[in-house]
């Protein structure tokens, strides 16, 4: 048997990790600016957390979860997303007692058994934020503004568009659902097999189907925004007004239904045209009923998650040169008897935060200088017999190819 990664899973190699650190560090810094604190929850949860949380008729729960029987017979699942786990933790740790507003963020891997393609993997990483405790549209706007700031700081906002809609609530959505179910039933024959099934279980999801035949059918349907009740309409107007005030651009897309059932009112996706069919780089919305659904008190909430791999793909396009680690100093010694001195000098310089590389082998000076160049070293210290006997070493500036001697006790 060949040892290899599981299909749809991949390694993040050292050559790419700097870009990952950049995206993660930039995101963390922005999230902390807005008062979010990091939370880490287990990768495995009881299956019920997701089946009840995301909705039993969603694609994720129906066909994409990695579900196993644990040794004691209980059903457990590798998390396909973060929100349901965070809600479980919010309830279990009685976070509502600690603060009226709770702001949490998380970074880590999620698992969905989807068909792998560029930008879509079976194991992928998300950065997500969840805010509990308020119905106020100011928070909806603030979350979207924060997300946009995060994309701007990461240098990829030029490739992105915010798409915004409202899904209404339990008061106004049923009428819309009824209306489109009636219209879709009349054209049932034109729908794909999945959508024929969705017509019975979850008709709103048909709006999201990417198949041409289905989108032809849905293009004539009325917009959910025309069905919003007075409260939902006012809520949505205020979100838009605040985004306008902050000059955050967006487009209204009433076809956003999201692949998870917990949403109500504000929903949004941040999309790109650069990644083929995997066009959503981040997505989120309000989910005022989920905490109660999972056994907690009635607590409104809103959040989003972004796909790190998709951000990385965009970042690579805009910054193909990447962020290679630069070596400050490469130490090349020309005789084994200087090995101890080289190791000690490297240790002392590293103690001071200087990035030092030494090759402990007996290659020629020429090949050592070649390697110093490859590492992007700014300087090379050349330790040769003749200078060392005079208490000196050579320092070569790799960019200008000039050399000077310094005393071994002058090495900083």
User: Given 3-state DSSP classes, what are the helix, strand and coil percentages for the chain, each rounded to the nearest 5?
Assistant: 40, 20, 35
Please enumerate in sequence order all residues whose Cβ is within 8 A of that of 100, keeping only pairs 6 or more positions apart, or say none.
133, 134
Q: Evaluate whether 269 touches 283 at the Cβ level (below 8 Å).
A: yes
- Using the rule CB under 6 A, which residue among 81, 140, 163, 169 binds ligand HAM? 81
d(CA 305, CA 159): 18
Nearer Cβ to ligand HAM, position 155 or 259? 259
- Shortest separation between residue 34's beta carbon and ligand HAM, angstroms: 15
- The label of the residue with tokens 């989003």 reads 304
> Does 289 contact ligand HAM by CB under 6 A?
no
> Does 280 contact ligand HAM by CB under 6 A?
yes
Q: Evaluate whether 165 touches 237 at the Cβ level (below 8 Å).
A: no
> Does 307 contact ligand HAM by CB under 6 A?
yes
> Does 282 contact ligand HAM by CB under 6 A?
yes
> Does 281 contact ligand HAM by CB under 6 A?
yes
d(CA 146, CA 32): 10
Distances (CA, A) of 54 to 72, 169, 259, 261, 295: 25, 17, 9, 5, 14
C-beta nearest to ligand HAM: residue: 307
Q: Evaluate whether 299 touches 101 at the Cβ level (below 8 Å).
A: no
Per CB under 6 A, the segment of 29-37, 122-130, 227-235, 336-344 that binds ligand HAM is: 122-130
220-279: contacts with ligand HAM (CB under 6 A): 259
Give the DSSP letter of residue 202. -
d(CA 81, CA 111): 7
- Shortest separation between residue 242's beta carbon and ligand HAM, angstroms: 19
Q: Report residue 266: phi and psi, to 5°.
A: -60, 125
d(CA 317, CA 322): 10
Nearer Cβ to ligand HAM, position 313 or 381? 313
- Using the rule CB under 6 A, which residue among 53, 55, 82, 137 binds ligand HAM? 82
- Shortest separation between residue 271's beta carbon and ligand HAM, angstroms: 9
Residue 197: which of 76, 50, 57, 307 has the closest Cα? Answer: 57
- Using the rule CB under 6 A, which residue among 26, 27, 58, 83 binds ligand HAM? 83
> Does 130 contact ligand HAM by CB under 6 A?
yes
Q: Evaluate whether 84 touches 294 at the Cβ level (below 8 Å).
A: yes
Classify 409 as helix, strand or coil: coil
Which structure tokens are listed for 42?
Answer: 């287990």
> Does 305 contact ligand HAM by CB under 6 A?
yes
Per CB under 6 A, the segment of 137-145, 181-189, 307-315, 364-372 that binds ligand HAM is: 307-315
- Shortest separation between residue 124's beta carbon and ligand HAM, angstroms: 3
- Shortest separation between residue 263's beta carbon and ligand HAM, angstroms: 7
- The label of the residue with tokens 């009881």 reads 46
- Shortest separation between residue 282's beta carbon and ligand HAM, angstroms: 5
Per CB under 6 A, the segment of 11-19, 298-306, 354-362, 371-379 that binds ligand HAM is: 298-306
- Shortest separation between residue 172's beta carbon and ligand HAM, angstroms: 21
Size of the site for ligand HAM (CB under 6 A): 26
Q: What is the DSSP string of 311-379?
A: HHHHHHHH-TT--PPPPSEEEEESSGGGHHHHHHHHHHHHHTT--EEE--S---HHHHHHHHHHTT-SE
> Does 107 contact ligand HAM by CB under 6 A?
no
> Does 91 contact ligand HAM by CB under 6 A?
no
> Does 142 contact ligand HAM by CB under 6 A?
no
- Using the rule CB under 6 A, which residue among 55, 168, 254, 284 binds ligand HAM? 284
d(CA 209, CA 33): 37
Per CB under 6 A, the segment of 34-42, 98-106, 238-246, 282-290 that binds ligand HAM is: 282-290
- Shortest separation between residue 245's beta carbon and ligand HAM, angstroms: 24
Per CB under 6 A, the segment of 158-166, 181-189, 234-242, 303-311 that binds ligand HAM is: 303-311
d(CA 128, CA 191): 34
Site residues for ligand HAM per CB under 6 A: 81-83, 112, 114, 120-121, 124, 126, 128, 130, 259, 280-285, 287, 303-307, 309-310
């Amino acid at each position: 048997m060949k040892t290899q990664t599981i299909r749809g899973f991949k390694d993040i190699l050292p050559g790419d990790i700097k870009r990952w650190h950049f995206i993660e560090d930039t995101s963390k810094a922005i999230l902390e600016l807005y008062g979010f604190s990091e939370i880490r929850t287990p990768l495995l949860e009881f299956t019920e957390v997701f089946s009840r949380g995301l909705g039993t008729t969603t694609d994720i729960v129906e066909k994409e979860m990695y579900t196993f029987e644990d040794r004691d017979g209980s059903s457990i699942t590798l998390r396909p997303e973060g929100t349901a786990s965070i809600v479980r933790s919010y309830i279990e740790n009685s976070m509502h007692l600690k603060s009226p507003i709770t702001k949490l963020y998380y970074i880590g891997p999620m698992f969905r058994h989807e068909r792998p393609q560029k930008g879509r993997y079976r194991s992928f990483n998300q950065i997500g934020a969840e805010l509990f405790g308020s119905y106020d549209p100011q928070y909806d706007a603030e979350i979207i503004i924060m997300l946009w700031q995060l994309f701007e700081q990461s240098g990829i906002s030029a490739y992105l568009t915010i798409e915004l809609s409202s899904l209404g609530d339990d008061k106004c959505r049923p009428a819309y659902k009824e209306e489109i179910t009636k219209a879709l039933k009349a054209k049932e024959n034109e729908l794909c097999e999945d959508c024929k099934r969705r017509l019975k279980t979850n008709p709103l999801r048909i709006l999201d189907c990417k198949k041409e035949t289905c989108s032809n059918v849905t293009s004539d349907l009325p917009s959910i925004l025309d069905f919003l009740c007075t409260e939902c309409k006012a809520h949505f107007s205020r979100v838009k007004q605040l985004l306008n005030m902050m000059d955050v651009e967006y487009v209204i897309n009433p076809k956003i239904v999201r692949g998870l059932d917990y949403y109500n009112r504000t929903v949004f996706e941040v999309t790109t045209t650069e990644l083929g069919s995997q066009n959503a780089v981040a997505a989120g919305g309000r989910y005022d009923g989920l905490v109660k659904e999972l056994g907690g008190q009635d607590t409104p909430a809103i959040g989003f998650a972004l796909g790190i791999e998709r951000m990385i793909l965009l970042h690579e396009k805009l910054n193909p040169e990447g962020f290679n680690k630069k070596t400050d100093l490469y130490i090349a010694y020309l005789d084994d008897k200087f090995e101890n001195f080289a190791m000690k000098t490297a240790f002392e310089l590293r103690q001071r935060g200087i990035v030092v590389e030494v090759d402990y082998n007996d290659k020629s000076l020429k090949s050592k200088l070649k390697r110093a160049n490859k590492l992007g070293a700014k300087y090379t210290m050349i330790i040769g017999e003749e200078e060392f006997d005079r208490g000196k070493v050579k320092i070569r500036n790799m960019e200008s190819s000039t050399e000077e001697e310094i005393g071994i006790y002058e090495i900083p």
